[in-house]
C-alpha cells in the first residue's frame, strides 16, 4: 500500500482559513456607550457585520454582554464606505 502524498503546509493553512475581522463602523455613539458593527470576511470571501454594543468603563471601552443568546449578523454585499480598515495593520 503506497503512502498518500503529503499536503504542503501552505495548502493546509489555506484550507483552514478562518473568518477575519477586516474593520468596523460606528453606528451610534455617546460618551458612555457605542454600537460598533464589526465587519468580517469569511473563507468564501463573503462579508458580514455583527452589531456589538460597547460601554465606557474606567479608562477603556468594554464589550456589553448581550441579554439574548445571539447578536444579529447582517449579510453584506460590499464593505461599508465608512469602515475603519484593519487589513493593512496585519503583518
If DSSP codes are grouped into helix, strand and coil, which group holds residue 87?
A: helix
- Grid cell 471601552 is found at 61
| C-beta of residue 40 within 8 angstroms of C-beta of residue 49 | yes
Q: What is the pLDDT of residue 46?
A: 93
Cβ atoms 71, 50 nearer than 8 A: yes
pLDDT for 18 equals 85
Q: Is the pTM for the entire model greater than 0.85?
A: no
pLDDT band at 76 (very low <50, low <70, confident <90, very high): confident
pLDDT at 54: 95
Instruction: Sort residue 12 into left (φ over 0), alpha (ψ -120 to 50) or beta.
Output: alpha
The string of pLDDT tens digits covering residues 16-71 is 678 899 999 999 999 999 999 999 999 999 999 999 999 999 999 999 876 666 66
In 3D space, the residue among 27, 52, 54 whose CA is nearest the CA of residue 40 turns out to be 52
> Cα(37)–Cα(90) distance, rounded to whole angstroms?
20
- Using pLDDT thresholds of 50, 70 and 90, give the confidence band for residue 84: confident
d(C-alpha 82, C-alpha 64), whole Å: 23
Q: Structural domain boundaries of the chain?
A: 19-89
Amino acid at each position: 500500500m503506497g503512502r498518500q502524498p503529503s499536503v504542503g503546509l501552505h495548502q493546509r493553512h489555506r484550507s483552514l482559513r478562518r473568518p477575519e475581522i477586516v474593520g468596523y463602523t460606528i453606528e451610534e455613539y455617546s460618551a458612555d456607550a457605542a454600537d460598533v458593527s464589526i465587519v468580517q470576511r469569511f473563507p468564501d470571501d463573503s462579508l458580514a457585520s455583527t452589531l456589538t454594543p460597547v460601554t465606557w468603563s474606567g479608562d477603556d471601552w468594554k464589550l456589553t454582554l448581550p441579554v439574548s443568546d445571539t447578536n444579529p449578523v447582517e449579510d453584506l454585499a460590499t464593505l461599508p464606505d465608512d469602515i475603519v480598515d484593519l487589513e493593512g495593520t496585519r503583518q
